[in-house]
Amino acid sequence: MKNEYKIYKKFTKKIVCIVVVIVVIIGVLNYVINPFNIFNNNLIGSKMLKPKAKMQERYTKFIAFKLDKREIDAVFTGTSRVDLALSKDYYKQLTTKNAENLAMGGFLLYEYLDIFKKMIIIHPEVKNFYVGVDFATFSKNKTDKNEYTRFSINPVKKLLPEEIGFALFSGKGAYCSIWTAIKNMMGIEKRMFNPDGTRHMFLEPRTSDYFIDAYREYVVSYEKYVPDERGMDILKELKKLCDEHGINLYIFIMPTHITDEYLINKMRPNEYAQWKKNLTKISKVYDFQYPSEYTTEDISPEMKYFFEASHSTYLLGNKILERLTGKNSDFGRILDENNVSKYVMEDKKSIDNYVKSHPQVINWVEKSI
C-alpha cells in the first residue's frame, strides 16, 4: 500500500510539474510574441506585424490600457476609421506625450460614454479626448446596444485574475502567438497591422474591387438611414462630462474617399447636411470629410491614402493628427454654426465637378446602388 501511495505521489508530482512548465511556456510565449498587442515590450523588435491584434480588441485594448503605467495625455476613440488610421506613436512624435487609441471596429455611439467612464477611472490624468464620428453611425439601427458589444472589463486600475489569465495563460493566446510568429516568418504583410495598431501598407491589384465592396456595404446603410437624435444627446452628455473633469473634447469627422461622399450626397444629402449642422451645435468640429487633394486621390493599386472608399491609411491619419495637434494646417478645417452651411454647399459643387470629370469611377458607384 505504501509503495502504491509513493508511486501515486510521484506520478502526481510529475503531472503537476509538467502542467506548471506548460503554463510557464505559454506565459512567456504570449508575453514575448504579444499577439494581441497588449504589452509594451520590445523584446523581439518593434516592427513585428500583429495579424491577430484586431480579433479580440474589445477585451484586449482595455487590458493594455490597464497595463500601461505611463502617464497618458490623450485618448482616441471612434470606429474602425480611427482605429486603422491614427497612430499613438506619431502623436508622441508630434507632442512628446503619450496617447492611446481605443477606437474599435463596429463601434456604437453609446460606447463612447462607456469608454470615457472607464478611462477616467483607469487613467484619470488624461487631458485630451479625441472622438472620431461617422455619419453612418448616427442612424437608429446603429445606436442600440447589440450582442457583439463586449466591454466586460471592470474599471479598476489593477488587473483582475481573469484578465491576467487571458493576457498570459490562455490557450487562445498561445494559438495566436504561434500564428503571429509563423505569419511574420512567412513575410505575409497583407491585412496585417503595425505594432502601434495602424494597418500595414500593402499594394493590392484589386483595389477597385475593394472600393466597389465598400459602396455596396454603405448603400445598405444609407438606404436604412433614419436620423437618431440620441446620437447627438450622447455627444452632448460626453461634452458635459469632459467639462466636469477638465478634459478637452475634440470632435472630428474622419475622411472618406470622394466617391463615398458622392454616394452620401446622392442618397442622403439633406440628412448629411443637417448632421454636420447638429454637430456644430455641440462643439466646434474638425472636418476631414470634404473634397481635397487627399480625398480625391486616383483609385489605383498604389494608393497612399485609402484602402477603400471608407478607410484611410495611417499616412492620411498622420495628416489628421498634425491638424488636431496644431502642427500643420494643410488638411482639415474647423466647422462652426456660422460656416457649416457654406461649406456644405461648396462641397456639393466640388463633388458635382468631380463626377463630371470622372465618369468611369462614378459608374462603379452607380452599379452598387
Q: How many residues does the chain have?
A: 369
pLDDT tens per residue, range 119-154: 999 899 999 999 999 998 898 765 455 444 444 455
What is the structure's pLDDT at 155?
59
Please indicate whether residue 187 or residue 60 has the higher confidence score (pLDDT).
Answer: 60
Cα torsion through 110, 115, 120, 124, rounded to 10: -150
Residue 228 has pLDDT above 60, yes or no: yes
What is the structure's pLDDT at 151?
45
Please indicate whether residue 176 or residue 95 has the higher confidence score (pLDDT).
Answer: 95
Q: Give the architecture-level CATH label for domain 70-160+196-368.
A: 3-Layer(aba) Sandwich (3.40)
Cα torsion through 336, 339, 345, 349, rounded to 10: -100
DSSP 180-203: HHHHHHHT--TT-B-TTSPBPP--
Instruction: Give the mean pLDDT of 60-69.
Output: 82
Please indicate whether residue 110 or residue 315 has the higher confidence score (pLDDT).
Answer: 315
Return the SS3 of 99. strand
What is the structure's pLDDT at 358?
87
pLDDT tens per residue, range 307-346: 889 999 999 999 999 999 999 888 999 999 999 999 999 9
Return the SS3 of 87. coil
pLDDT tens per residue, range 162-191: 777 877 888 888 888 888 888 777 765 555
pLDDT tens per residue, range 340-356: 999 999 999 999 999 88
What is the structure's pLDDT at 132?
96
pLDDT band (50, 70, 90) for residue 37: confident
DSSP 238-263: HHHHHHHTT-EEEEEEPP--HHHHHH
What is the structure's pLDDT at 150?
45
Return the SS3 of 158. coil
pLDDT tens per residue, range 238-270: 999 999 999 999 999 999 999 999 999 989 999
Q: If we measure between CA atoms, which residue out of 76, 225, 249, 77 comes closest to residue 138?
A: 225
pLDDT band (50, 70, 90) for residue 25: confident
The answer, as to whether pTM is greater than 0.95, is no
For the chain, what percent of residues have pLDDT higher than 90?
42
DSSP 218-238: HHHHHHT--B-HHHHHHHHHH
Residue 251: beta bridge partners?
131, 285
Query: How many Å separate Cα 162 from the centre of its chain?
Result: 25
Query: Is the separation of the CB atoms in 77 and 131 below 8 Å?
Result: yes
Q: If we measure between CA atoms, which residue out of 111, 101, 120, 114 comes closest to residue 321?
A: 101
Please indicate whether residue 24 or residue 250 has the higher confidence score (pLDDT).
Answer: 250
pLDDT band (50, 70, 90) for residue 294: very high
How far apart are alpha carbons 100 and 111 in whole angstroms? 16
